Amino acid sequence: MNSPLRKIIFPAAGMGTRFLPATKATPKEMLTIVDKPLIQYGVEEALDAGMDEIVIVTGRGKRAIEDHFDISSELEANLHAAGKDALYQTVSRVARMADVAYIRQKQPLGLGHAVLCAAPWVGDACFGVSLADELILSEGKSAMQQLCEVHEQTGASVIGLAHVPDNEVSRYGIVDAQDENGLLRLHGMIEKPAINQAPSNLAMIGRYIFTPRLFALLKETKPGTGNEIQLTDAMRQLASEEPVYGVVIEGQRFDAGNPCGFLLANVILGLQHPQHGETLRAALTEMKLIPPVR
């Protein structure tokens, strides 16, 4: 039995160029899907999997993330005094859901470098990494829980995967996977390959569990695709030294890191929203954008 995973890193230092001008003064991670910022969905998913020691790697212009998970005494007092109990509960729950630590990545040197910035905080333990702009909703076990199960079984690094169509392969880290006694063993991975160089259509979708060996490898990783220190490059080395497994995640996934996926997540979650769903559906039906429910 492996010791339970408690630590998780949220890299959140990226510049959000795909969402400019929205992300000029607002962190990408704070863009909302309906009424909740992306990073909160990620933190809730981590907590649900028992990962309650959270570090967010931030950079310049990311203060709003810290404020979001902080106690806002004035706001809470105002909501309480105004008798807005439901809103008060919502706001105070966010501030108390987790003790979040923050580490600053001083230069945007890539995802691998952002993860490496959290190495002293993690120490010599297995840890999770979650990219908040990949929103994954599951009716049963959460995406992180699905990874945790394979990690508990193997003690190894485990990566969340999804099948993507040919025209999307060049947007992701793509893995070379083979079945091994019912588990998916990863023999390699390439960051954003052209379709004719991709070993498969299985993409890494921003959920990872790593053994601490990854940090030593990240330290030696040279800049790769986009002249950035790529997590994928260190992972390829890790997979050549020790077993790394993949899990095709069950759940509804939105790549909210690109504008189209982000808009789709807002529409779908908007339609499912207990308070606003019905009104949104009626409006879209009236505009003949969706058929009436029979």
Near ligand G1P by CB under 6 A: residue from 19, 127, 172, 262 = 172
CA distances from 58 to 73, 106, 239 (A): 24, 9, 28
In contact, 207 and 162? CB cutoff 8 Å: no
Q: How far apart are CB 275 and ligand G1P at their closest, in Å?
A: 29
- The stretch near ligand G1P (CB under 6 A) out of 29-37, 117-125, 179-187, 202-210 is 202-210
Sign for the pseudo-dihedral over CA of 279, 284, 285, 286: positive
Binding mask 219-238 for ligand G1P (x = CB under 6 A): ------------xx------
Q: Which stretch binds ligand G1P (CB under 6 A): 88-96, 156-164, 203-211, 265-273?
A: 203-211
Residue whose C-alpha is closest to residue 228's, from 38, 10, 15, 5: 15
**Which of 67-75, 201-209, 212-220, 262-270 is the region at the interface with ligand G1P (rule: CB under 6 A)?**
201-209
Among 205, 229, 244, 265, binds ligand G1P (CB under 6 A): 205
Nearer to ligand G1P, 264 or 290 (CB): 264
CA 178: distance to chain centroid?
A: 25
Site string for ligand G1P, 122-141 (x = CB under 6 A): ---------x--x-------
Cβ distance to ligand G1P smaller for residue 94 or 192: 192
Q: Which range, of 37-45, 69-77, 96-104, 204-212, touches ligand G1P by CB under 6 A?
A: 204-212
CB of 127 to ligand G1P, least distance (A): 17
Buried b / exposed e along 129-155 (16+ C-beta atoms within 10 A): bbbbbbbbbbeebbbbbbbbebbeebe
Helix axes 259-272, 277-286, angle to 10 degrees: 110
Question: Would you count residue 173 as binding ligand G1P (CB under 6 A)?
Answer: yes
CA 1 to chain centre: 26
In the bound complex, what is the minimum distance in angstroms from residue 112's beta carbon to ligand G1P?
8
Local structure of 9: helix, strand or coil: strand
The residue number with the shortest CB distance to ligand G1P is 173
CA distance 167 to 60: 33
Find tokens 């999997």 and name the residue: 49
Task: Tell me which residue has tokens 């986009």.
Answer: 226
What tokens does 42 get? 């990620």
Among residue numbers 5 through 64, which ones bind ligand G1P (CB under 6 A)? Answer: none
Which lies closer to ligand G1P via its Cβ, residue 29 or residue 191?
191
Instruction: Name the residues that contact ligand G1P, by CB under 6 A.
Output: 111, 131, 134, 172-173, 191, 203-206, 231-232, 255, 257
